[in-house]
Amino acid sequence: MSSASRHPQPPTPAMGSVRAAHEAFVTGHSGTTPQDVVLAVSSAFPGTLLVAAIVQGRLGWQWFLLECVLLVTPVALGFTVMADFTPHMLLCSSLLASLLLWVARSRVSAWNGCDKAGEPAIESTGKRVGCVTCYRALLNLATTIAILAVDFHCFPRRFAKTEVQGYSVMDVGAAGYVIANALVEGRRQASLRVVLKDAALLVCLGLVRLAMVWAADYQHHVTEYGVHGNFFFTLAALKLTCSWWAWRLGTAGNLALMLALCLVHHLLLTVGGVEGWTLGPVPRDSFLNANREWFVSMPSYAALYFTGAGIGAYLRDRSKRATVPHFLWAVVVASAVSLALLHFYVDPASRRLGNAAFVAFSILYATLTLAIFSLLDIWIPKLLPGVSSTPRILQAINQRPLLNFPPVQSRHWGHQQERQHPHCLATRGTSLWCWGIPSVLLQWCISCSRMIVKGR
């Protein structure tokens, strides 16, 4: 008997059935707990301490690769094969970071003969605040890994986008991008021409993504942004409607406008009946009905944008630099209390509706990350004088965020391979680790090489 007859190959399913199976694989999820979402990226915090203790600002490719091992690898593992062990990863990496920091500080004290503590409260290089750079870079890193990994079985389904209600890594990643963009909005007084230019670029990216999805016959999650919408169009709309004057309002004005938007949006969802229309079985027979999720979620993203602009205005004020950690932790406490009240007495977070609980959780996630990095901005220069609290790989990611999107779009290539070889497990396992993540690292290597050459 031949080998082929002893081990018959499974029939190749039709393209439509493969696409339907893939859609079922990435949709219909209810998320996880808020704590689980935070723990998924928590290894980056002790990883930053490890980089400071081991690399200590030294230049060279070997040190760059070591930063990748200490920062990128734990985050990638926490999103995939080690997702069930993130508390253990956090504990072990924290203990290791504490030990190595103690050793490094002992050596620094022995070399210098004295304690040179007394650095500024919050590290700032030029117009960049260290905690903002780290937050934006970590967000880009985590989002890129999640987008690349979501199509594969190694990515836990609880981290995928939620269908109606719940908390997930990918949901908070989209909201985090809005806050991250708004944080740096005030670095330049945007004219109408600049706003239109930025919005046009985002619209072009949105059209490219839409065309690639249709050309590849890739699954499209219509309950996310509707039939024709995507996140680039959301960012473009925010640029047009919010960015020109968000920086003019200051911290108090932006936060007050955020609260007003959340209140009005909640009334529209409940009293106005928008929630039933959005979640109900309304046929998508018109442009408004087809893209109702995109329109309904826009006020919540605008609220997040004004929140980011308000926080950014506070962080840029040099006279308040010493009180930045206190301000951020106050926002963390306020958003945590708000989330608890909204979750138990109103409604849990809903990415699809963009309700008040979703806004509160997104603010909590962003400000908690910023607050922790702001403490590292204080501790690292005091423990290791002369050592930057911002790893160079995070600086590179923050400086070239759009370089993430070409490799992210390469996941459509992997999906095409799965459609051609749906029974091949090797394709599923290797297209992420042998194509996606290395391509992302290559982009960051290019950015870091420029920084190394310049001696930054």
Structure confidence by residue, pLDDT tens digits, 240-298: 888 877 877 888 999 999 999 999 999 999 998 999 999 988 888 889 988 899 999 99
Percent with pLDDT over 90 in the chain: 36
- Region 156-175: what's the mean pLDDT? 89
CB 219 within 8 A of CB 22: yes
Domain ranges of the chain: 25-101+130-160+389-456, 171-383
- Reported as a single tens digit per residue, the pLDDT across 318-340 is 888 888 999 999 999 999 999 99
Tokens (6 digits) for 129: 């605040």
What distance in Å separates the CA atoms of residue 381 and residue 357, rounded to the nearest whole number?
Answer: 37
Residue 420, pLDDT score:
44
226 band by pLDDT with thresholds 50, 70 and 90:
confident
Residue 114, pLDDT score:
45
| Segment holding 274, helix H or strand E | helix 274-279
Q: In 3D, which of 359, 364, 341 has the Cα closest to residue 349? A: 359
Please identify which residue in the block is written with the tokens 């990226």. Answer: 41
Q: Evaluate if residue 375 carries a pLDDT over 90.
A: yes
Q: In 3D, which of 220, 309, 327 has the Cα closest to residue 256? A: 309
Tokens (6 digits) for 353: 């509706």
281 versus 109: the higher-pLDDT residue is 281
Helix axes 130-149, 356-383, angle to 10 degrees: 120
Least confident of 34-48, 148-162, 169-183, 287-301: 148-162
Please identify which residue in the block is written with the tokens 């990350």. Answer: 369
- Region 291-307: what's the mean pLDDT? 94
Residue 195, pLDDT score:
82
What distance in Å separates the CA atoms of residue 141 and residue 268, rounded to the nearest whole number?
Answer: 35
What distance in Å separates the CA atoms of residue 40 and residue 394, rounded to the nearest whole number?
Answer: 18
- Region 100-128: what's the mean pLDDT? 60
Q: Evaluate if residue 349 carries a pLDDT over 70.
A: yes
**438 Cβ contact list (under 8 Å, min separation 6):** none
400 versus 426: the higher-pLDDT residue is 400
Residue 216, pLDDT score:
72
Residue 112, pLDDT score:
54
Q: Evaluate if residue 12 carries a pLDDT over 60.
A: no
Q: Evaluate if residue 40 carries a pLDDT over 60.
A: yes
| Segment holding 167, helix H or strand E | none
- Reported as a single tens digit per residue, the pLDDT across 73-85 is 899 999 888 999 9
CA angle in degrees (0–180, nearest 5) for 325-326-331: 95
The amino acid that residue 35 corresponds to is Q
- Region 153-162: what's the mean pLDDT? 86
- As a dihedral over the C-alpha atoms of residue 145, residue 148, residue 152, residue 158, rounded to 10 degrees, the angle is 50
Tokens (6 digits) for 6: 């002893």
Least confident of 40-44, 145-149, 226-230, 428-432: 428-432
Residue 47, pLDDT score:
93
